[in-house]
Structure 1
Amino acid sequence: MHMTSREVPITSSELANLWMTYQEKTMLLRILEHFIEHADVEAKQLLQMHYDSTIKAVDLITEIFKEEGAAIPIGFTANDLNKGVPKLFDFLYDIMYLHMMTKVEMSLFSLFCGISYREDINNLFINLTAESQAMNNQVTQYLLKKGVLVRPPFVSMPKEVHFVQENQYRNGFGLFGEKRSLNTIEVSLIHHAIETNLAGMQLMIGFAQVAENKAVQEYLVKGMKLSKKIEVDLGEFLRHSYIEPPATHAGKATASKVAPFSDKLMMYNTSLLTSFGLGTNALGGAFSLRNDLPTKMSLLAKDIYTFAQEGGKIMIKNGWMEEPPQMEDRNKLTK
């Protein structure tokens, strides 16, 4: 007899995917609530649209957990948000943040599609991927219209096809021993990494100036400096090819010292973006055909990994790291 989708037991990967999505989505709700409170009319429409879809996703995941008899995660609640406080970020940062987070969501949910097998759960992540893609497009066009998002450099269209003839190409050198210009793949990945770190750096600045825990504040300052280092180091590759790195005058932290969010939420958000940064860094290194770029990427990855490890220790020490669902300990059966 054919079982319906809901009659099929949930797998470990599906439970993990739902749990991780619940954490990310409940955090995002708190961030969006602060942004919506201070947004202008035009920005508020975009923020509210993503907020409403996020609420639906959380409700659907909660329903699945209940049907499976699973404990509902804590995630992030009203206790992680202080309403009625001054805005922490100014001039379009709310949409710039959404632009950054929809990139994270597109990556996460498309990955979860590939490792979810039950039809209803797979459809959930297919829909979430489509929603994040659509919202990313909307906020991209919004920011371009406002003149605060820098497009990657335009390029002349190739008129013929070439194949790499010399190993010097991978060594980063041209036929005559000079450093070769970056190819379009390399420029694309560097531009993306810099753009994301610029937004992340402002997030760290804002978080650091309102953090209550001294260790958290110091950690977030390290995050700010690390984002700056990544932006400067990768920017040098672009400048060597006579390409200016992306920069924007928008999206700065305000002077507010009143925290809209709990330290727990700010640490989780930082952890999520750090994990995304590690993935982006690995992708950039893997697709580059210039050996000096993966070498730089690997050095930066070490810094990012060390930063992530330190953040995890702070979260555990303060009781902020919610434990993912655990597999049964089969070793107990042999004792």
Structure 2
Amino acid sequence: MILTNPISGPEVGTLWITYNEKTLIMRMLEYFIEKSDDQQAKNILGGLWQELNFYVLQMEEIFKDQGMAKPAGYTNEDVNLEAPKLYDNGFDIMFVRILKEVSMGMYTINMNMSYNDKIMQIYEGLTVVTQKIYKLSTLYLLEKGILTLPPKVTMPKTTEFIKSKSYMNGFNLFGDKRALNDLELGILHHGIETNNIGLQLITGFAQCAQNKEVKQYFVKGKELAKKQIKVMQEILLESDVQFAATSGSTVTTSTVAPFSDKLMMHCVYLLNGFGLVGSSFGTFFSLRNDIAMKATLLAKDIYFYGEEGIKIKIKNGWFEEPPQMEDRSQIIKE
């Protein structure tokens, strides 16, 4: 793939982010493929690796054509295929499913900032891959009994419109709150599901992190995930909805790191961004003000936790600087 015209600044930026994310995912996939004992799971993981490798090579070709330095990304130095199994019971596919949720949103944003046909083709192709793998992962997890379906509800028989502003009241000290609507139920179910997977992921990271500060950071993230699950489960129980949490996985007792601290920190950085977007979605689309307020407070916790992680990454020289515009004032001074 050869581009004859220079690509724009935003296109450089989105390609840079995408390359870093894809090389990180490929290193994790290599470990999961090595440790998987289920052929069906290996096929899903291996198929995704092949697809991502194709687009990583295309991006490298664009970097070369544009005279752009290739991002450092994540290499074989960031994965230890000899490390014992850190996760069991379908975690590999659960994690891939969450990653594909993150990717769906990122490709939409990246496409919105793309003007070059070849760049748009990359994001269009990655979107197709993501949706295919997400579907395969979901069907696999349901077949294995690992993924829990959301609660079922009574189907609406008529069309109704909201008749009172009290519909939004959640902070009601003298009366019952209204029942959750189906969208709010979906937001809460999804929040618990993703935080359960995040809890397992970061527990494993905490067990095997080499840097003491990084280990403490992961332990703090584990407690944050538990707090979010607790808040959302309490809202469901108040509406007499019992949530059967997904089994997700079992973290083994291994303390041998399959990934570098640098890779694990960036993985959590990406998921923090996903968590912020999810909390924002819950805040805006929930029509009960107590749920919107709790989602806002959870988003605040995620933001400050993410900011702490960025400082650790910078301190250890793990945060590659994104491409940026020329500093004209500095050039003039020089």
Shared fold by TM > 0.5? yes
4+ residue runs of structure 1 moved beyond 4 angstroms?
none
Could you list the per-position Cα deviations for residues 27-58 of structure 1 after superposition, in whole angstroms to 9, with x for gaps in the alignment? 00110011000112121001001011111111
> 1:144 offset after TM fit, Å?
0.5
- Aligned counterpart, 1:254: 252
With structure 1 as the length reference, what TM-score do the two structures score?
0.96
Distance 1:259 1:319 in 2: 19
* Matches for 1:236-315 after TM superposition, within 5 Å: 236-315=234-313
- Does residue 129 (structure 1) correspond to residue 127 (structure 2)? The answer is yes
* Matches for 1:6-25 after TM superposition, within 5 Å: 6-25=3-22
* Matches for 1:49-198 after TM superposition, within 5 Å: 49-172=47-170, 177-198=175-196
- Cα RMSD between the aligned structures? 1.6
Q: Matched residues, percent identical?
A: 46
The amino acid across from 2:43 in the alignment is: Q
Distance 2:283 2:307 in 1: 21
Distance 1:117 1:192 in 2: 33
> 1:159 offset after TM fit, Å?
1.0
The amino acid across from 2:33 in the alignment is: I
Structure 1 unaligned segments of length 5 or more: list them: none
Report if aligned partners of 2:63, 2:70 keep a CA contact under 8 Å in 1. yes
- Does residue 30 (structure 1) correspond to residue 37 (structure 2)? The answer is no
Distance 2:98 2:75 in 1: 22
Q: Give the 3 Å change call, closer, same or farther, for CA 156–173 of structure 1 in structure 2.
A: farther
Distance 2:215 2:179 in 1: 40
Report if aligned partners of 1:278, 1:301 keep a CA contact under 8 Å in 2. yes
- SS of 1:7 mapped into structure 2: coil
Could you list the per-position Cα deviations for residues 6-32 of structure 1 after superposition, in whole angstroms to 9, with x for gaps in the alignment? 233211111111110101100001100
Structure 2 unaligned segments of length 5 or more: list them: none
- SS of 2:63 mapped into structure 1: helix
The amino acid across from 1:16 in the alignment is: G
Count of aligned residue pairs for this structure pair = 331
Report if aligned partners of 1:223, 1:307 keep a CA contact under 8 Å in 2. yes
Could you list the per-position Cα deviations for residues 91-143 of structure 1 after superposition, in whole angstroms to 9, with x for gaps in the alignment? 11111111111111111112211221111101110111111011101100100
Distance 1:265 1:217 in 2: 13
> 1:173 offset after TM fit, Å?
7.7
With structure 2 as the length reference, what TM-score do the two structures score?
0.96
Distance 2:70 2:147 in 1: 39
Report if aligned partners of 2:151, 2:243 keep a CA contact under 8 Å in 1. no
- SS of 2:134 mapped into structure 1: helix
Report if aligned partners of 2:167, 2:288 keep a CA contact under 8 Å in 1. yes
- Aligned counterpart, 2:218: 220
- SS of 1:219 mapped into structure 2: helix
Q: Give the 3 Å change call, closer, same or farther, for CA 185–29 of structure 1 in structure 2.
A: same
